[in-house]
Amino acid sequence: MSARGPAKQGAGALGGEAMHRLITELYPICRSITGNGLRQTLRHLQAHIPLIIHEVPSGTRVFDWTVPKEWNITDAYVKDARGHRVIDFGKSSLHVVGYSAPVHVRMTLAELRQRLHTLPDRPDWIPYRTSYYEETWGFCLSHADLLRLPDGEYEVRIDSSLRDGYLSYGECYLAGESEDEILISCHVCHPSLCNDNLSGIALATFLAKHVGPARRRYSYRFLFVPGTIGSLTWLSRNEDRLDRIKHGLVLANVGDAGPVTYKRSRRGDAEIDRAVVNILRLSGDAHEVQDFVPWGYDERQYCSPGFDLPVGCFSRTPHGRFPEYHTSADDPDFVKPQALADSFAKCRAVLQVIEQNRTFLNQNPKGEPQLGKRGLYRKTGGSDDGRLPELAMLWVLNLSDGAHSLLDISDRSGIAFEVIDRAAQALQAHGLLKERAQ
Ligand code: ZN
């Protein structure tokens, strides 16, 4: 995009700080797969990007699933015999098992223990637990706090409701020159957890902010959906137009200090897979590329066999591979502005590849064209200065036989895509290349 439009906004370290600020603002909200916390989160994003909030009624069938009842919660606590809150939802939204049914009872510590979840191996962390599809209730707390609870009677209260309502999801569509689309999706259903999932929300938002003012070939669709049920709901409501999605990325865990991990789409060699691998490989940074597996985030739904969309998953440390995962230690300190900025820069570079990837035909294929007389070759031989742009031109001329795209040429030459792209633009401007008709 930057070669064709403005759009430098949101880049660099400043972008990392701004994304981190957004994460910190959204952190306290108790999100779930439905309810006001989710809605509040989506409304907050409307201050950044033109996001439409869709509301889908409880009970709506989406393929083999049903949109559940809407869950809302205002307060929850466990009080000891003296009336002190020993567990207080007001202090952390993680304290209540997500989707807990309302309850107000008195019970002994032994009875209460059956409803408490802790992490004995990480005694200072609160675990994150949910029970979406089986009605129950419970609390989560640090194991250290559990050990401090004296015997006696406790008052237990969860002021929640599970009623027919709506599932909310956010959609930001940015039209480009073509109706062909790039899908960027993230999940928005986790409460006070930062890498999983606020980092994905922040990155998707800032990518949308970046794409917004740029002139672009593709249309972009950014989805902010509750995990699984949200992507299924979106797919079921848009089934007749999924053929427009030419490339896609699911974003999750993009803010920790680890290297980037990319999980390929089910197709394995889709253009998005090749673009991400190209950017990671030529970045020189440590990274890992994984083949598709049918678990993880919403790529599971986009890549189910009935859709098989070209959608991969971009992460840093994948879910389950950092101890802070799904615990209170996945807090604002765990996500780093620098890592967010790096994730942003790499995703932006990937989108740039997708935007600019084209296949050309060399208009002077018999021998090399004389670049010097066109001002495209350095005048003094022998020095290595400025050699890379020239090598890029030679690669582009040699491989532009109609069968190799600029991405192919970057892969084969090991020269960064943007250098190859600039070479192609220079050659095209001198009439030496013509774009192959699609
Ligand atoms: Zn998660």
- CA 326 – ligand 1 centroid, Å: 6
- CA 93 – ligand 1 centroid, Å: 15
In a domain, 5, yes or no: no
- CA 197 – ligand 1 centroid, Å: 7
- CA 340 – ligand 1 centroid, Å: 18
pLDDT of residue 378: 77
- CA 57 – ligand 1 centroid, Å: 24
The per-residue DSSP string of 139-173 comes to: EE--HHHHHTPPSSEEEEEEEEEEES-EEEEEEEE
- CA 319 – ligand 1 centroid, Å: 7
Name the token pair of 249: 């990325």
Across the chain, mean pLDDT equals 95
For range 304-315, the mean pLDDT? 98
pTM for the full predicted model: 0.94
User: pLDDT at residue 1 above 60?
Assistant: no
- CA 235 – ligand 1 centroid, Å: 20
In a domain, 3, yes or no: no
> Quick one: 366 and 279 in the same domain?
no
For range 73-95, the mean pLDDT? 97
In a domain, 1, yes or no: no
User: pLDDT at residue 169 above 90?
Assistant: yes
- CA 189 – ligand 1 centroid, Å: 8
Name the token pair of 288: 């890992």
> Quick one: 327 and 375 in the same domain?
no
Find out whether 417 and 279 touch, Cβ atoms under 8 Å: yes
CATH of the domain at 398: 1.10.10.10
- CA 33 – ligand 1 centroid, Å: 12
> Quick one: 253 and 343 in the same domain?
yes
pLDDT level of residue 12 (50, 70, 90 thresholds)? low
For range 245-270, the mean pLDDT? 98
Name the token pair of 334: 């765990």
User: pLDDT at residue 383 above 80?
Assistant: no
pLDDT of residue 4: 34
- CA 47 – ligand 1 centroid, Å: 25
> Quick one: 184 and 326 in the same domain?
yes
Find the domain containing 403 and state its range.
360-435
For range 255-274, the mean pLDDT? 98
- CA 15 – ligand 1 centroid, Å: 24
Q: Which amino acid is at 101?
A: A
Q: What phi, psi does 187 have (nearest 5°)?
A: -95, 145
- CA 228 – ligand 1 centroid, Å: 11
pLDDT level of residue 384 (50, 70, 90 thresholds)? low
- CA 154 – ligand 1 centroid, Å: 31
Counting the structural domains of the chain, the total is 3
User: pLDDT at residue 152 above 60?
Assistant: yes
